[in-house]
A and B are shown apart, each in its own frame.
Chain A
């Protein structure tokens, strides 16, 4: 192909549109990639390991999240926990690390842009990777997150 102004512009446009498509990749694919990145090659078990969010929340500005580890072996504890909100502008919500003294229980508050399924993944001291999905209906979206343009 001869390098002319026309071909150069066309290829530049093609590169741009590919980039846009990758960014707008569907939330399910983004979530799968994020979970795989957290698991780092280890198998992911789907298990209710003790994360709780109300099924219906009025305000997406402050959504209470509680963790009370369940279904772990004796002596096993959570060492890391990450929350994902695939329908938020940014999929990651937070990453928590529990030291040796921490019991693994947690209460905090997150923002949700709209109704969606929140995914929690955790790594235990035994090296297992656990995943729990929680469906949350949100009446009012959180904090300007309901802007039409999506980023990241």
Chain B
């Protein structure tokens, strides 16, 4: 497993109906499988192949990644929030290893 720190940034509070920006970043080399190592041999592919963000179980944003995504995959996306709850992000690597991050938002 090649995961580094998983980060999820969500505003702590918002008004109902407000569009908030969510930012996520996970440390990962995203080894493309096309690169050659020091010894001239191809470094085997090992990438984050899937990212999912849910809010109280409902899918908000998802991505199927290919080797052409940059190392340390970064996603920033906007969400309309209507009620308080918890955002949960999960990154899945080739082979099935995962890391997750959670952040709660309070809607006034």
Contacts of B79 in A (CB 8 A): 101-103
Give B87 Cβ to nearest chain A Cβ, in Å: 10
B68 within 8 A of A: yes
**A144→B35 contact, CB < 8 A:** yes
**B73→A108 contact, CB < 8 A:** yes
**B69→A93 contact, CB < 8 A:** yes
B32 within 8 A of A: yes
The stretch that binds B, out of A12-20, A36-44, A82-90, A130-138, is A82-90
Selected contact of B69 from candidates A94, A103, A147, CB within 8 Å: A94
Q: In the complex the two chains form, what is the Cα distance from A92 to B65 in whole Å?
A: 9
Give B81 Cβ to nearest chain A Cβ, in Å: 7
Q: Mark A56-72, 1 if CB is under 8 A from B, else 0.
A: 00000111000000000
Which residues on B are within 8 Å of A, measured CB to CB? 19, 21, 32, 34-36, 43, 55, 58-71, 73-81
Which residues on A are within 8 Å of B, measured CB to CB? 61-63, 85, 88-90, 92-112, 142-145, 147, 151
